[in-house]
Amino acid sequence: MSWLLDDATCRDDVLGMHEGLAADHGKVFDAVWAGCVDARILEFCRLRTATLLGNTHAWNEPRSAAAVAAGLDEQMVESLAQWPTDDRFDAATKSCIAFAEQYVIDIHGVTDEQVHDLATAIGNDGVVTLTTALAAWEITHRFDNSLLGTAPTNDSTGAF
Amino acid sequence: MATTPRLVSAVDGKAPDIRTVLAHSPEVRAAFNNMYATLWSAGEVPADVKELVRLRNATQTGCGL
Protein backbone atom coordinates (compact mmCIF):
# COMPACT_ATOMS: atom_id res chain seq x y z
CA MET A 1 0.00 0.00 0.00
CA SER A 2 2.92 2.34 0.66
CA TRP A 3 6.12 2.93 -1.24
CA LEU A 4 7.94 3.07 2.11
CA LEU A 5 6.57 0.02 3.86
CA ASP A 6 5.45 -3.07 1.98
CA ASP A 7 2.96 -4.32 4.56
CA ALA A 8 1.54 -0.92 5.52
CA THR A 9 -2.23 -0.82 5.49
CA CYS A 10 -2.88 2.69 6.73
CA ARG A 11 -1.38 6.08 7.62
CA ASP A 12 -0.54 5.00 11.17
CA ASP A 13 1.65 2.18 9.87
CA VAL A 14 3.75 4.58 7.81
CA LEU A 15 3.77 7.43 10.31
CA GLY A 16 4.72 4.90 12.96
CA MET A 17 8.11 4.54 11.29
CA HIS A 18 8.88 7.79 13.16
CA GLU A 19 7.39 7.13 16.58
CA GLY A 20 8.06 10.54 18.10
CA LEU A 21 6.51 12.35 15.17
CA ALA A 22 3.55 9.98 15.16
CA ALA A 23 2.90 10.71 18.83
CA ASP A 24 3.12 14.47 18.34
CA HIS A 25 0.93 14.29 15.24
CA GLY A 26 -1.71 12.51 17.30
CA LYS A 27 -1.52 15.08 20.07
CA VAL A 28 -2.16 17.91 17.63
CA PHE A 29 -5.42 16.28 16.62
CA ASP A 30 -6.30 15.47 20.21
CA ALA A 31 -6.02 19.19 20.98
CA VAL A 32 -7.96 20.19 17.88
CA TRP A 33 -10.88 17.82 18.53
CA ALA A 34 -11.01 18.83 22.19
CA GLY A 35 -10.91 22.53 21.30
CA CYS A 36 -13.60 25.16 21.12
CA VAL A 37 -14.89 24.51 17.60
CA ASP A 38 -17.89 22.22 17.14
CA ALA A 39 -16.43 18.84 16.20
CA ARG A 40 -19.09 18.34 13.54
CA ILE A 41 -17.90 21.49 11.77
CA LEU A 42 -14.31 20.31 12.02
CA GLU A 43 -15.23 16.97 10.48
CA PHE A 44 -16.99 18.68 7.58
CA CYS A 45 -13.86 20.78 7.01
CA ARG A 46 -11.56 17.76 7.26
CA LEU A 47 -13.55 15.83 4.69
CA ARG A 48 -14.05 18.79 2.38
CA THR A 49 -10.32 19.54 2.28
CA ALA A 50 -9.68 15.84 1.69
CA THR A 51 -11.89 16.01 -1.37
CA LEU A 52 -10.20 19.14 -2.70
CA LEU A 53 -6.77 17.57 -2.24
CA GLY A 54 -7.89 14.23 -3.61
CA ASN A 55 -7.27 12.20 -0.46
CA THR A 56 -9.56 9.18 -0.61
CA HIS A 57 -8.01 7.69 2.53
CA ALA A 58 -9.59 10.39 4.68
CA TRP A 59 -13.04 9.44 3.42
CA ASN A 60 -12.49 5.72 3.86
CA GLU A 61 -11.30 5.89 7.46
CA PRO A 62 -13.77 6.12 10.36
CA ARG A 63 -15.39 9.47 11.00
CA SER A 64 -14.01 11.53 13.86
CA ALA A 65 -15.15 10.04 17.16
CA ALA A 66 -15.59 13.53 18.60
CA ALA A 67 -17.79 14.54 15.68
CA VAL A 68 -19.87 11.38 15.95
CA ALA A 69 -20.27 11.96 19.68
CA ALA A 70 -21.40 15.51 18.91
CA GLY A 71 -24.13 14.15 16.65
CA LEU A 72 -22.56 14.23 13.21
CA ASP A 73 -25.30 13.75 10.63
CA GLU A 74 -24.09 11.27 8.01
CA GLN A 75 -26.73 12.48 5.57
CA MET A 76 -25.14 15.93 5.76
CA VAL A 77 -21.76 14.33 5.15
CA GLU A 78 -23.19 12.78 2.00
CA SER A 79 -24.36 16.25 0.92
CA LEU A 80 -21.15 18.00 1.81
CA ALA A 81 -20.35 19.01 -1.77
CA GLN A 82 -23.65 20.88 -1.88
CA TRP A 83 -23.03 22.85 1.33
CA PRO A 84 -23.40 26.34 -0.22
CA THR A 85 -27.05 25.73 -1.09
CA ASP A 86 -28.01 23.21 1.58
CA ASP A 87 -29.89 24.92 4.41
CA ARG A 88 -28.99 22.17 6.86
CA PHE A 89 -25.55 23.78 7.05
CA ASP A 90 -25.94 26.81 9.29
CA ALA A 91 -24.16 30.14 8.86
CA ALA A 92 -21.25 29.32 11.17
CA THR A 93 -20.67 25.99 9.47
CA LYS A 94 -20.78 27.58 6.04
CA SER A 95 -18.27 30.24 7.14
CA CYS A 96 -15.90 27.53 8.32
CA ILE A 97 -16.23 25.35 5.21
CA ALA A 98 -15.80 28.39 2.96
CA PHE A 99 -12.64 29.32 4.84
CA ALA A 100 -11.39 25.74 4.61
CA GLU A 101 -11.92 25.72 0.84
CA GLN A 102 -10.20 29.09 0.45
CA TYR A 103 -7.32 27.86 2.61
CA VAL A 104 -6.68 24.91 0.33
CA ILE A 105 -7.45 26.47 -3.05
CA ASP A 106 -5.91 29.95 -2.69
CA ILE A 107 -4.67 30.96 0.76
CA HIS A 108 -3.74 34.43 -0.50
CA GLY A 109 -7.34 34.95 -1.49
CA VAL A 110 -8.44 35.02 2.16
CA THR A 111 -9.81 38.48 2.94
CA ASP A 112 -9.96 40.62 6.07
CA GLU A 113 -13.76 40.47 5.86
CA GLN A 114 -13.73 36.68 5.66
CA VAL A 115 -11.61 36.34 8.79
CA HIS A 116 -13.75 38.94 10.59
CA ASP A 117 -16.90 37.01 9.74
CA LEU A 118 -15.28 33.77 10.83
CA ALA A 119 -14.19 35.29 14.15
CA THR A 120 -17.72 36.57 14.69
CA ALA A 121 -19.04 33.05 14.14
CA ILE A 122 -16.57 30.98 16.15
CA GLY A 123 -14.44 33.48 18.09
CA ASN A 124 -10.75 34.28 17.87
CA ASP A 125 -9.88 31.04 19.64
CA GLY A 126 -12.01 29.20 17.13
CA VAL A 127 -10.23 30.83 14.21
CA VAL A 128 -6.85 29.81 15.60
CA THR A 129 -8.06 26.28 16.27
CA LEU A 130 -9.63 25.90 12.82
CA THR A 131 -6.61 27.37 11.03
CA THR A 132 -4.23 25.08 12.90
CA ALA A 133 -6.50 22.14 12.16
CA LEU A 134 -6.49 23.02 8.46
CA ALA A 135 -2.71 23.19 8.49
CA ALA A 136 -2.50 19.80 10.17
CA TRP A 137 -5.03 18.25 7.81
CA GLU A 138 -3.29 19.65 4.77
CA ILE A 139 -0.10 18.00 6.02
CA THR A 140 -1.96 14.76 6.58
CA HIS A 141 -3.78 14.76 3.25
CA ARG A 142 -0.54 15.39 1.39
CA PHE A 143 1.24 12.77 3.51
CA ASP A 144 -1.42 10.23 2.53
CA ASN A 145 -1.32 11.21 -1.13
CA SER A 146 2.45 11.06 -1.35
CA LEU A 147 3.18 7.97 0.74
CA LEU A 148 0.06 5.80 0.74
CA GLY A 149 -0.90 6.08 -2.88
CA THR A 150 -4.51 6.24 -3.98
CA ALA A 151 -7.03 4.30 -1.95
CA PRO A 152 -9.94 2.57 -3.63
CA THR A 153 -13.05 4.71 -3.47
CA ASN A 154 -15.88 3.12 -1.57
CA ASP A 155 -17.81 6.14 -0.41
CA SER A 156 -21.23 6.83 -1.79
CA THR A 157 -21.09 10.57 -1.33
CA GLY A 158 -20.00 11.53 -4.79
CA ALA A 159 -17.03 13.28 -3.22
CA PHE A 160 -14.77 11.48 -5.64
CA MET B 1 -2.79 39.85 0.71
CA ALA B 2 -2.88 41.25 4.24
CA THR B 3 0.39 42.53 5.65
CA THR B 4 -0.84 42.78 9.23
CA PRO B 5 -2.35 40.13 11.50
CA ARG B 6 -6.09 39.71 11.07
CA LEU B 7 -6.68 38.73 14.68
CA VAL B 8 -5.91 40.74 17.79
CA SER B 9 -3.23 39.69 20.24
CA ALA B 10 -4.28 37.32 22.99
CA VAL B 11 -1.51 38.66 25.23
CA ASP B 12 -2.18 41.91 27.08
CA GLY B 13 0.22 44.67 26.10
CA LYS B 14 1.72 42.71 23.25
CA ALA B 15 1.29 43.50 19.58
CA PRO B 16 -0.34 40.86 17.38
CA ASP B 17 2.17 38.53 15.78
CA ILE B 18 2.30 34.82 15.07
CA ARG B 19 2.96 33.96 18.74
CA THR B 20 0.44 36.28 20.39
CA VAL B 21 -2.30 35.44 17.91
CA LEU B 22 -1.80 31.70 18.30
CA ALA B 23 -2.08 32.25 22.05
CA HIS B 24 -5.85 32.47 21.59
CA SER B 25 -5.78 28.67 21.55
CA PRO B 26 -2.87 27.72 23.82
CA GLU B 27 -3.47 23.96 23.92
CA VAL B 28 -3.60 23.70 20.14
CA ARG B 29 -0.60 25.98 19.77
CA ALA B 30 1.43 23.92 22.24
CA ALA B 31 0.63 20.66 20.50
CA PHE B 32 1.49 22.06 17.08
CA ASN B 33 4.73 23.58 18.39
CA ASN B 34 5.72 20.24 19.89
CA MET B 35 5.22 18.51 16.56
CA TYR B 36 7.14 21.27 14.80
CA ALA B 37 10.01 20.91 17.27
CA THR B 38 10.12 17.17 16.70
CA LEU B 39 10.30 17.72 12.95
CA TRP B 40 13.41 19.81 13.50
CA SER B 41 15.11 17.82 16.23
CA ALA B 42 14.57 14.22 15.17
CA GLY B 43 14.91 12.03 12.13
CA GLU B 44 17.55 11.30 9.54
CA VAL B 45 17.31 14.44 7.43
CA PRO B 46 20.03 17.00 8.29
CA ALA B 47 18.80 20.32 9.66
CA ASP B 48 20.41 22.31 6.86
CA VAL B 49 18.49 20.29 4.30
CA LYS B 50 15.26 20.80 6.28
CA GLU B 51 15.89 24.55 6.27
CA LEU B 52 16.42 24.58 2.52
CA VAL B 53 13.17 22.68 2.08
CA ARG B 54 11.37 25.07 4.44
CA LEU B 55 12.61 28.12 2.54
CA ARG B 56 11.80 26.59 -0.84
CA ASN B 57 8.33 25.71 0.36
CA ALA B 58 7.87 29.25 1.68
CA THR B 59 8.86 30.62 -1.72
CA GLN B 60 6.52 28.29 -3.57
CA THR B 61 3.58 29.15 -1.31
CA GLY B 62 4.27 32.87 -1.12
CA CYS B 63 4.95 33.00 2.61
CA GLY B 64 6.92 36.13 3.45
CA LEU B 65 7.40 35.50 7.16
Task: Check: CB of residue A160 under 8 Å from CB of residue A75.
Answer: no
Would you say how long chain A is, in residues? 160
Task: Check: CB of residue A54 under 8 Å from CB of residue A159.
Answer: no
The confidence score (pLDDT) of residue A154 equals 60
Task: Check: CB of residue B24 under 8 Å from CB of residue A132.
Answer: no
CB within 8 Å: B32 and A135: yes
The stretches of chain B forming alpha helices (DSSP H) are: 18-22, 26-41, 47-61
Nearest to B63 by CA among B8, B16, B19, B2: B2
CB within 8 Å: A25 and B35: yes
Domain parsing of chain A, residue ranges: 11-147
Query: What is the ipTM, given to two decimal places?
Result: 0.82
- The span from the CA of A2 to the CA of A146, in Å, is 9
Amino acid at A94: K
Domain at A11-147: CATH code: 1.20.1290.10
For the segment A105-115, what is each residue's pLDDT rounded down to a tens digit? 999 999 999 99
For the segment B2-43, what is each residue's pLDDT rounded down to a tens digit? 667 899 999 999 999 888 999 999 999 999 999 999 999 988
Determine the distance in angstroms separating the CA of B63 from the nearest CA of chain A, rounded to an integer.
9
